[in-house]
A and B are shown apart, each in its own frame.
Chain A
């Protein structure tokens, strides 16, 4: 019993152990090797880290839901950019401009609704046509990106609203808005996935779709909801990020999907669905962000950063496998 608990802790804690290891390594390497004058393990620095993890983190939480459900969403990067554009552009509509700063919450709502709708479109296609989610969202990744460009040609869409920037930079105890939103999203989604019927059904569908169908679970609506949720979260991520930056490049958010998926898988979610944890995903996101910042901290150049990040991804996977190795005499299949 006790070893069981210990084993579970080791298994689920691998990602947090890795984070700890990185912290120590970058602190020491920064001090003794790169001769950096600043400390790495520092409260402000860690809070900044959390804040910077927010855009990918919020999306990764949504990705966890969809992947647990047995699907995947490759279009999140494009949804993110499109919702960013909607947010900033809608602020410039004459009607909204007339409202002054009161238009901000309205613009945010419009952006979030857009995200939901885009997610719903994906979900509806997956549900009604039966085409695999990978293909549907791979297509949407292109299609939505096309819409991003249609909105404003190849120009960035900009609308710098200092009230909104101040909102994004607001914080308590040094925790800024993006970090707060990330933590809040993690908490809520964690509750939904572990405590609600919808969450448990999502696990069941991802685990054994046929069993779920046989048990009378309506697979379609659950998938639809989950796609809407990831659309919403991609939009939320855009709202959080773009209210603080005020401008969308039409190619923003490219590769977000891959990094989000990486974080989710590092956090222990099964690619084939049915298993995964929101908290693990948070760990995965932080681990990746930490790696990037740590490498910058010790002054690694572009090629080194690329090589190291690639290698570390693989090494983490290898370690995780070593830790979760089955008992001796395991079946060699």
Chain B
């Protein structure tokens, strides 16, 4: 009995090193400050991680498909600015602003997808270029001004960022629902399988009759869709946005995805692990804030935790602590 329990735990450790790292880490912080595990705080962390998290879900698809997406941060600024601006436009109002924003953001994703998928351009450079170009586009749209909802009381727009249902914040619900949906899409459907194949070996995928370009294209559309959702939450949460709200998020998102164990070479990773990655980052930030540490101490601790977590993950997989590299 105890024996099997140990065995199961050993197996879990080997397969889900990152999950174990997460649990250890949560226990550690809770011992330090019991408030950490307070239900309000937990919801608070998940709620504020939701934006990063939703973006990371999309980027997981792109990364498993063997590419990068560095444009998500500046795309987030774009979608938030656009939805707010259209919201204030009497011709649109919230009901039209949201679909219009989704359409425009998906167009940007389609550009990424077209360039990387169909034209086969290097995704790092393409999305870096798009990072810059979309920022320019956002500035042009807003004229460089912050966007705000003038009469916050008169709109239901805030529900996406501030509302709750059954006592659970709506952003948390969106994040969980989207994670479940995309998790199933990736793990259980033919499309998901194709994403893994294209990321794992694009040539072999082509030889197997998988439309490589279209699959890559779709991963970027998914990524853009997630950014649009995140942008909606963001805009609704703050009821206003600067042109730079998403700046720098691209690397944080990537860190979460990688921390979850997706390989940058493509072909591996799961939505579940990405969620863990997001939560680890969210709880590190929150835990250190609660511990009253300076934000730069957070940086250093995040560094150490990222490396320890990934190390633990791969060390359990290979069954050895140290790398065999000579």
Contact = CB atoms under 8 A, between A and B. Distances in A.
A129 B129 contact: no
A134 B258 contact: yes
A129 B324 CA distance: 9
A306 B300 contact: no
Contact of B311 (A131, A142, A310, A314): A131
B16 to A, nearest CB: 17
Contacts of B121: 314, 317-318, 321
Interface in B222-267: 248, 251, 254-255, 258-259, 263-264
B203 A333 contact: yes
A323 interface: no
A174 interface: no
Interface in A277-321: 302-314, 317-318, 321
Nearest to B131: A310
A306 to B, nearest CB: 3
Most buried by A among B139, B294, B303: B303
Q: How large is the interface on B (under 10, 10 to 19, 20 to 34, 35 or more residues)?
A: 35 or more
Contacts of A271: 122, 124
Nearest to B207: A333
A313 B125 contact: yes
A218 B296 CA distance: 37
Interface string A167-191: 0000000000000000000000000
Interface of A: 74, 125, 127-132, 134-136, 138-150, 213, 218-220, 223, 254, 258, 261-262, 265-266, 271, 302-314, 317-318, 321, 332-333
B136 A143 contact: no
Contact of B126 (A146, A150, A314): A314
Interface of B: 70, 115, 119-122, 124-126, 128-137, 139-140, 144, 202-203, 206-207, 212, 248, 251, 254-255, 258-259, 263-264, 294-304, 306-307, 310-311, 314-315, 318, 322-326
Contacts of A223: 325
Contacts, number: 165
Contacts of A145: 296, 299
Q: A-B pairs with the 5 shortest C-beta distances?
A: A143-B303, A310-B133, A130-B323, A146-B299, A306-B136
Nearest to B124: A271
B132 A138 contact: no
Which label, helix, strand, loop or mixed, suits the secondary structure of the A interface?
Answer: helix
Contacts of B303: 139-140, 142-144, 146
A137 B108 CA distance: 29
Contact of A143 (B248, B258, B294, B299): B299
Contacts of B120: 321
A219 B324 CA distance: 10
19 contacts: A127-B323, A129-B311, A130-B314, A131-B310, A131-B314, A135-B258, A139-B304, A142-B306, A146-B298, A148-B296, A219-B325, A258-B128, A271-B122, A309-B133, A310-B131, A310-B132, A310-B134, A313-B129, A321-B121
A317 B125 contact: yes
Given A134-B258, A305-B136, A317 B307 contact: no
Contacts of B300: 142-143, 146-147, 150
Contacts of A303: 136-137, 139-140, 144
A143 B302 contact: yes
A307 B299 contact: no
Contacts of B202: 333
Contacts of A261: 124
A271 B134 CA distance: 24
Most buried by B among A129, A218, A318: A129
Contacts of A128: 322-323
A306 B310 contact: no
B326 A218 contact: yes
A333 B144 contact: no
Nearest to A250: B296
A124 to B, nearest CB: 11
Contacts of A266: 125
A265 B122 contact: yes
Nearest to A213: B326
Contact of A306 (B124, B135, B302): B135
Nearest to B311: A129
Contacts of B251: 74, 138, 141
Contacts of B255: 135, 138-139
Contact of B325 (A127, A134, A135, A144): A127
Contacts of B299: 142-143, 145-146, 149
Contacts of B254: 138
Nearest to B137: A307
B258 to A, nearest CB: 5
Contacts of B133: 306-307, 309-311
A324 to B, nearest CB: 12
A66 to B, nearest CB: 15
A144 B303 CA distance: 9
A272 B121 CA distance: 14
A154 to B, nearest CB: 8
A131 to B, nearest CB: 5
A90 to B, nearest CB: 20
Contacts of A144: 303
B306 A135 contact: yes
B207 A309 contact: no
Nearest to A151: B296
A213 B126 CA distance: 33
A64 to B, nearest CB: 15
A130 to B, nearest CB: 3
A129 B136 contact: no
B206 A333 contact: yes
Contacts of B144: 302-303
B69 to A, nearest CB: 13
A318 B118 CA distance: 12
